[in-house]
Amino acid sequence: MISEVVTNYDAVSLFDFYRSITIILFIPQLMAEWKIFRDYYDLVAWKSLVPFYNIYLVSEKTFASGVYCYLFIVPFMVILVMATMFKRYISLVQLVVIGILLVFELIYSIYFNYNRLRTLNADWKKIVLLFIMPSIAIIWLAMSDKTEYLGTRRHIFIN
């Protein structure tokens, strides 16, 4: 019983640590996105604060079409709907579908952010940092003097 309490306490403290780091990085990341939208994308900066619309605009500046943002939004919405439909038990099929969608989201997120950093003239250090801590990479990119918008890139799904 005592070891169970200690284990639960460790899990809660680890979650609290993660949540506090997320909150600490939230404001600098918003400021970095604001700067990237204003200085490099030549867009009105407040658009970086609008959920889903900012992903559409970044997709438009990265791949010359905002349609690719739906590869982020649709799987996310399916996961959200499936998670709210769970009453008490989760079926194996639902678990497999959610797992596949989460893996797709992770892979596409890495691909999308890699291309985003390449359009903003990021060096290899920022790209490596993107795989470890994407929030820090975006903040570092916004503060860098060498950052410039190079134009759109070709998407993997375009022939």
Domain coordinates in residue numbering, the chain: 2-143
Would you state the pLDDT for residue 11?
A: 56
**For residue 145, which of 39, 27, 62 has the smallest C-alpha distance?**
39
pTM, whole model, 2 decimals? 0.75
Tell me the C-alpha to C-alpha distance, in Å, between residue 151 and each of 106, 117, 154. 24, 11, 10
Per-residue pLDDT of the chain (159 residues; tens, 9 = 90+): 555 544 555 556 767 777 788 788 888 999 999 999 998 888 899 999 898 888 899 888 888 888 888 888 888 888 778 777 766 677 777 778 888 888 888 888 888 888 888 888 888 888 888 888 888 888 988 888 888 888 888 777 664
